[in-house]
Structure formats: C-alpha cells, structure tokens
Amino acid sequence: MSDSAVDPAEVRHVADLARVDLDEAELERFAEQFGEILDAFETLEEVPEVEREADLVNVMRPDERKESLDQEQALQNAEDEEGFFKGPKVS
Amino acid sequence: MSYNAFITRETIEGEEDGPLAGKTVAVKDNISTEGVRTTCGSAMLEEYVPPYDAAVVERLLEAGATIPGKTNMDEFGMGTTTETSAFGPTDNPAAEGRVPGGSSGGSAAAVAAGEADLALGTDTGGSVRCPAAFTGTVGIKPTYGLVSRYGLIAYANSLEQIGPIAPSVEEAAELLEVIAGLDDRDSTTRDAHEEVGERSPDGVREYAFADAADGDVDGLEIGIPTELLEGADERVVETFWDAIDELEARGASYHEVAMESLSHAVEAYYVIAMSEASSNLARFDGVRYGPTPEYEGNWNEEFAAVREEGFGEEVKRRILLGTYALSAGYHDKYYKQAQDARAWVKQDFDSALSEADVLASPTMPVPPMERGESLDDPLTMYLADANTTPVNLANLPAISVPAGETSDGLPVGLQLIGPAFGEREIIRAGSALA
C-alpha cells in the first residue's frame, strides 16, 4: 500500500471545492481518517481492466408540457421575496 | 420503552379498501410525504415539508395502508448503525443497548417493536438488509428498476432502491408487490412482469411475490461465495451454517464458489456512493429549502456556512471524499477503477448464478454492535458492509431473513441473492426460514 497521507491543507482545499466549512477539530480528524480510507481505496489498483457491458439504452419521453408545482408550492420551504427565492449575494 | 424509531409521528390515512387495508406501514424519512415533514435525519431538512408524495407512498395509500409516521435513519442514509441521525440514535428492540443497524434502523426497529406492522426502508449499500439482520426481521432489496425512486431524496442514484421490512417473508413480499412497477416519472423503472411473473388463469402475468413464499426449497441449488465468510465473526458463521443445514434438511443443496471480485467490492462501492453523494447533495444550499440564516459574505461563503451548520460529520466526510475522488488528477485513480470493479462484480455474479439458483451469505459479518462503539472509526464501519454492497453494485435483488441467534442471544441474518428480477426465487428460498 502506498503512503497517501493527507495533510489538513489538502482537506481544506477539497472542503472549499465542495463548499463545506469545517472547524479546526474536524479538519484535523478528517486529515487523519482520509489517509487511512484513501489507502483502502487504493487497493482498487489491483482490479483488472474489465470489458463493460455496452447494452445500455437511453429511455426518452416526448418533451411535453406537464403539470408542475405551482409558485406557492415551490416557495413553501424557502425564504422568499415577492414570489422569488431569496438567495445570498452572488459576488 | 421508546426506541426512538420515529422522527415524526403523524397518521396518514390511505383508502378504505385494498390489499394493505388495516395495516400500518411506517415510512423511512427520506421518502417524501405530501404535507408531512420529511427530514432525511438531517438538521438540513428539519423543517422541510414536501409538496408531493413519493410514488411508493401513493401506492401504499391506494392499497389501503395507514402510515403511522416517518422513521429514524442515518443522516441522508449514510451509516450502518442509525446513530448519525440529527434526531438521536435508535435503539434495537431485539437487542437493547445495541444498534438496530442502518441506515433504515428506525423502520426495522418500528417493525421489531410492533410499533408498525410493516415498513419501507431504502437500500443503497445494504440499508434495508443490515437493520433487518440486526433486529430479527425480514428485509428485501429489490432488483434495480423494480421500484420507482420518484420522491425518494437521493443519495446515490445508481445504487439505491426502496424495499420492504416485515416480520415474515410473506408479508415483505406482499408489501413489495404493492410498491413494485413501472412509473413514468422514474425512467430507470422497468415493467418486469415478463421476467418475474407467472400467468394467472386469465392469462395476465402477475408478480405474485407473496405466492412464492411457499417454503418449498426442494431441489434448490445454493452457491456460497467463500469471500463473504472470510473474516466474519465466528458466532455469525456458526449460526449461518445452522441455517444452511436447515435448508439442506428441506431438500436444498449447496456448493461453495470463489468470487474474487468480491474482495474489492466494498471499496468500489464507497468510491461510487461518495462520488454520487457529493454531486447529489450539492442542492442543499439553503436557498430553496433548509436553514436560511443570515451570514455575511458572498454566495459561496454563505453556501459553505449553511452546509457546515446543516450537515452532520458523516455526511461531510462523504461529500469531501466524493469530491476528492472525482477531482482532477484523482478521477482515473479512484472513480474509473471503481467502475471497473463494479463491472467485474457483475460478471462474477452472472457466472456464479449460472450454476446456482441463489447465493447465500451472512447478511452482516458481525452481530449488532453496542451503541456508540463504532462511531469513531469510519473505515471499520465501512468494511462492515462487505457482504451487502456487492449486490447494489450488480443491481441484483437480495433478501435478509433471520438465521437464528448467536449463543449470547444476538440476531443473525442470512442473505440470499438472486439473478436480476429473480425476486420470486429469493422469496421462496427465504420463506423456508421465516
């Protein structure tokens, strides 16, 4: 097994990509656990190349207008402003 | 005593008549119920009320079932013990002080404690079969595509199916019959009558799952993958062989089979499941639902803060590992290899099932753990899913039935795996034991 130790800066980078804040304690804990877990994932190197089955088919339906949630239903779980979703600043 | 099996107790009445009239069916809290809070065991959805019913809920209500509430679960289905719920852990009615298994632990506990006649769970890597095994109940993971996932709050779409938990194989089969079937809102569903059913007198093919629960295993050939016994707890292995002896006494025979791919399945499962989770859970950004606190900052910063607050540690761990496995430079190393392993597992199952009617193994390699015992060691927890995850990778059906108890009184489950749409075979074989 290779040495895939993960340092906290790397975990911080992935957490930024995934848009999840972590506190310092979580960061330390995850760095420690990720090395061990990724080591286990590396055993997948031993898997031979396998011919994948190619008999998958797309299932399509006609592109028709159907009933959907109305505005009130769509907004019922959200903070809204005059019938719109209210989100944070974009920049 | 309370097992904390339910997150929300609210009665939803179904039609007056139907095959489930007079029965209560508890529903896992990641399956949408119109007007009734559906939390996924997460603070992120603590106040979420779906505006529509899942397809399986529509079918339950049409069949006359009464839903007594929404059951506790590992947050977003991520766990093997039902201890990662934001609403507290569930206890095991069949072994108090121990975990009920996960992630559908609330559903299994509700059935085991008699708080519901039947229940629905979801099985992404064993989440119906594991809690069934740990609570002495029966759980079925259907063939991928047999049951609609419309209205299921997804975690890993290519792996998960909704399945029944019940006190007996026949009752589980009855519930499966109600929820199975084509749904035009889930394009992965299949009308499997041709594969599954038998002809009724009027020429129409029916699933007839419950009819298959006749206990007749005379002439049944069972394959036992040796990889799934390796490393299992001795007490579990002993109980497993006792159950195989019982099937043999009733006319079945068995042979051992080597399936090399299975020793890589659990790692492949976690890479794929975490990758899908990292993508699926991107929708929880606090805008359309979820907590809407006032944070200072731009969209990205607020998004990250909402997710820190709303998600528990196991969910964050999987989102991060999934993001890692899919990120530039690592995709080929982890995700592509995992897909190769998945194809290999499928081939191995096809080959093993060409020489056996069903495959058998212990459902879980260990008896139910004590509560709190395994939370700090995620890798050990993930490896406990070694026997159930291969089935999800191969999209096959499997059932967990009680195999008996260890000498110290802990429930052990026997898993029977069938070919695609071979629900009747595993139901028939399982019904010889429960």
Chain A residue at shortest CA distance from B378: A33
Q: What are the chain A neighbours of B324 within 8 Å (beta carbons)? A: 14, 34, 38
Q: Which of A11, A13, A19 to mutate to test the interface with B (most CBs of B within 10 A)?
A: A19
Q: What are the chain B neighbours of A37 within 8 Å (beta carbons)? A: 270, 321, 378-379, 382
From the list B264, B304, B343, which residue is nearest A21 (CB)?
A: B304
Domain of residue A14 covers: 6-44
Q: Phi first, then psi: what are they for B337, rounded to 5°?
A: -60, -35
- Residues B85, B72: contact at Cβ < 8 Å? yes
| CATH number of the domain to which A35 belongs | 1.10.20
Q: Which of B185, B262, B288 to mutate to test the interface with A (most CBs of A within 10 A)?
A: B288
- What residues contact B186, with CB distance under 8 A and at least 6 apart? B55, B148, B149, B150
Q: How far is CA B357 from CA B224, B417, B420, in A?
A: 11, 9, 12
Domains of chain B, residue spans: 6-222+225-259+346-432
Confidence of residue A53 (pLDDT cuts 50, 70, 90): low
Q: Is residue A61 part of a domain?
A: no
Please judge whether B300 and A19 are an interchain contact, meaning their C-beta atoms are less than 8 angstroms apart. Answer: yes
**Tens digits of pLDDT across chain B (434 residues):** 699 999 999 999 999 999 999 999 999 999 999 999 999 999 999 999 999 999 999 999 999 999 999 999 999 999 999 999 999 999 999 999 999 999 999 999 999 999 999 999 999 999 999 999 999 999 999 999 999 999 999 999 999 999 999 999 999 999 999 999 999 999 999 888 878 777 777 766 789 999 999 999 999 999 999 999 998 999 999 999 999 999 999 999 999 999 999 999 999 999 999 999 999 999 999 899 988 777 778 888 889 999 999 999 999 999 999 999 998 888 889 999 999 999 999 999 999 999 999 999 999 999 999 998 877 789 999 999 999 999 999 999 999 999 999 999 999 999 999 999 999 999 999 999 99
pLDDT of residue A50: 84
Q: What is the ipTM of this complex?
A: 0.92
> What is the domain count for chain A?
1
Q: Is residue A67 part of a domain?
A: no
Q: Is residue A77 part of a domain?
A: no
Q: What are the chain B neighbours of A21 within 8 Å (beta carbons)? A: 304-305, 307-308
Closest of B95, B98, B104, B92 to residue B3, by C-alpha: B92
Q: From the centroid of its chain, how far is CA A73?
A: 26
Cβ-Cβ contacts under 8 Å between A and B: the total is 144
Q: Is residue A28 part of a domain?
A: yes
Helix, strand, or coil here: B253? strand
Q: What are the chain A neighbours of B325 within 8 Å (beta carbons)? A: 41
Q: Is residue A62 part of a domain?
A: no
Q: Is residue A56 part of a domain?
A: no
From the list B278, B320, B343, which residue is nearest A50 (CB)?
A: B343
Give me the CATH code for the B6-222+225-259+346-432 domain, please: 3.90.1300.10
Give the other-Cβ count within 10 Å of B247's Cβ: 22
Structure tokens at B119: 């229940």
Residues 49-78 of A with CB under 8 A from B: 49-53, 59-61, 69, 73-74, 76-78
Positions of B marked active-site: 28, 103, 127
